[in-house]
Every structure is written in C-alpha cells, then in structure tokens.
Amino acid sequence: MPALDVDDLYRAILLDHYRNPRRRGRLTGEGVVSADGANPLCGDQLTVDVRLDDRDHLVEVAFEGAGCSISQASASLMMEYVAGRSAGRARAGVDAFQEMMTSGAAPEDFGDLEALAGVAKFPVRIKCASLGWKTLEQALLAAGRGDARSADRVTTDERSSGDD
C-alpha cells in the first residue's frame, strides 16, 4: 500500500472543508455579534457571527460568505477550532494563525488547521486564508465593547485602513 503523501492529505482536508463547510450559516437572536470582511483584490467576502456566554466562551459560531477555496476552507476550519473556546483563547488562535502564515510552521495544537501552513509559501494566498481570522478578531473586539455589530468592515487590502 503506498504511503499517504502529507501534501495530498492536506489538500484533501482543505477540499473537504471547502465542499462541506462546517458551521456555515448565520446566527440570529439575542447576544449575536457579527463582523464583515472582504478581500477586495480577489473578491472573497465573509460574515462571521459569534455568541458568547456569560463566561466569555464562544458557545455558537457561524460564517457565511463566498470566495476562493482557501478563504472558505480556512473559515470552516477556524469555526471548528474556536467553537467552545474562551474569547481569549480564540484571540490567541488568531495570533497563532497569523504567525503560522508568516513562518509556515503550525502550532502543535492546531489539528487540521495545520493543512493551511503551506499557504505561507504563496504570499498572495495568505490574504485569502487570513480573511476569516481577521473578521473573527473584529467580531470579538465588537463583543468586548458590547456592540452587536462591528462598525468597521475588515479588509485584507493594506491600502485600506478600515476607517473610510
């Protein structure tokens, strides 16, 4: 039996999350905080919804959007990773993901998210993979302020400050 190539395994994980996204949809009701994000250079768009409990844990998370396979698979993998975690651990995950995008090395506790480590080799695709994470970060900031929606649209375009 031939050995399973790690790159093939990672490709399969990403395709599975793209074709069968986890936690895709919108959350409604009291306590939902939302943020919108876009990658204007390639057209990826996402909305991230979170609901935190009184202990600051993400009890419900969902995303909706359209875009390339990397952006959609990354958002799906992210949702699986942050569901049930504290807001602080989710923010630490955002930081760890961004570090992985610059170093190409995945943290030990990233599980299937390790499949995205290879994106670091393709700088133009890093924005696609990072969109969901940046949008989640904005939703968590809004939740921390007590807002139901982030006032700023997240963008991966360095030319935009988000203040326009």
End-to-end CA distance of the chain: give it in Å, rounded: 57
Segment 103-153, tens digit of pLDDT? 989 888 899 999 999 899 998 899 999 999 999 999 999 998 888 887 678
What is the model's pLDDT at position 97? 96
With bands split at pLDDT 50, 70 and 90, how would you rate the model's confidence at 9? Answer: confident
* Predicted local distance difference test score (pLDDT) of residue 6: 63
CA distance 38 to 46: 6
- Residues with Cβ < 8 Å from 156, sequence gap 6 or more? 37, 38, 39, 40, 41, 44, 127, 128, 130, 131, 134
Domain residues of the chain, as ranges? 6-146
Poorest-pLDDT segment among 3-7, 35-39, 102-106, 134-138: 3-7
Confidence (pLDDT) at 4 = 55
What is residue 161's predicted lDDT score, i.e. its pLDDT?
38
pTM of the model: 0.88
**Which tokens in the block code for residue 51?**
């609901």
Task: Could you please state the CATH topology (level 3) that the domain comprising 6-146 is classified under.
Answer: Sufe protein. Chain: A (3.90.1010)
pLDDT-derived band at 12, boundaries 50, 70, 90: confident
